[in-house]
Amino acid sequence: MSTLWAFGDSYLGPPSHIKDRSQEHWIYLLKTHLNCNGIELRCHPGAANEWIYLQFHSVLSKIKPNDYVVFVSSQMNRRWFFEHDIGSSNYYVKDLSMNAISSQEKNALKQYAKYLANPVMASIFFENTCNSIHYQAIMNNLNLILLPGFESGEDGFPINGRYKVKGSLFNIGVNEIKGKTIELWHKYINITHAGQDPRVGHLSYENHVILSKKLSNTFLNNKSLDLTTEFKEDFL
């Protein structure tokens, strides 16, 4: 019997306003496709890769070679500054009012974003994280897919490990919006829906179904995972 382990940010964990629709999520559909008897889900909206990696690393000894592991990488410039508030890793968003941090901490984040945020260092840190995930997968004989939430192998990062992966979840979500541009995606989220994405895990149900089938085909048949084709686009 096998367990499906999944680690990530809001691509895995639906926010509270749509939690009742969590069973529509591709990770639960994938569990069924893989005939797993259990699922272990560790995720948080806005989480940085170091928090996600800590969740993964903390349970390494419990993951068996016949289990399945999905690690969804978060945006590389997020940082886990405050242990008590995981969501504030997404420090560059305009509205931090929903985060459980003090006014001094909010000001510190603004100052970091203005003076200290370094895209080169973020890139190096993200590459090191990807390499560490692949290393742990090899050393512990894990059946693991590193699933790009944002940055992908086409961006020059070592996403490919045991399985080849092309594209990212972010592009699937953006391409659902009519016009398929980041600007129109921002309008859909921030203006049409007042900053709350109405989709479970930032994807429509049709694409949850497609993604779950693609992932199961990769796990079961060692097929490359292509996140750039076959998804429903240009309809929201």
**Structure confidence at residue 195 (pLDDT):** 82
- Over 80: is that where the pLDDT of 14 sits? no
Of the candidates 42, 53, 109, which has an alpha carbon nearest to the alpha carbon of residue 76? 53
Tell me what the mean pLDDT of segment 24-36 comes to: 95
Instruction: For residue 107, name the pLDDT band (cuts at 50, 70, 90).
Output: confident
Tell me what the mean pLDDT of segment 123-135 comes to: 97
Strand (E) or helix (H) holding 106: helix 103-111
Instruction: Please check whether residue 231 lies inside any domain of the structure.
Output: no
Instruction: For residue 214, name the pLDDT band (cuts at 50, 70, 90).
Output: very high
Instruction: Please check whether residue 82 lies inside any domain of the structure.
Output: no
Instruction: Please check whether residue 127 lies inside any domain of the structure.
Output: yes
- Over 60: is that where the pLDDT of 97 sits? no
Range of the domain at 191: 3-77+117-226
Instruction: Please check whether residue 207 lies inside any domain of the structure.
Output: yes
Contact 57, 136 (CB under 8 A): yes
**What's the CA gap between 164 and 81, in Å, rounded?**
32
Instruction: Please check whether residue 44 lies inside any domain of the structure.
Output: yes
**Structure confidence at residue 19 (pLDDT):** 63
Count of structural domains, the chain: 1
**Structure confidence at residue 56 (pLDDT):** 98
Instruction: Please check whether residue 54 lies inside any domain of the structure.
Output: yes
| Backbone region of residue 117 per phi and psi (left: phi > 0; alpha: psi in -120 to 50; beta: other values) | beta
**What's the CA gap between 228 and 41, in Å, rounded?**
25
Q: Cα dihedral sign for 93, 94, 99, 102? A: positive
Which residues on adjacent β-strands are paired with residue 166?
226
What is the number of residues in the chain? Answer: 236
Among 14-23, 31-40, 183-192, 214-223, the range scoring the smallest mean pLDDT is 14-23
CATH number, domain of 15, equals: 3.40.50
**What's the CA gap between 106 and 31, in Å, rounded?**
39
Q: Which strands form 38-43's sheet, in the order they lie side by side? A: 38-43, 3-8, 68-73, 144-148
- Over 90: is that where the pLDDT of 22 sits? no
Reported pTM: 0.94
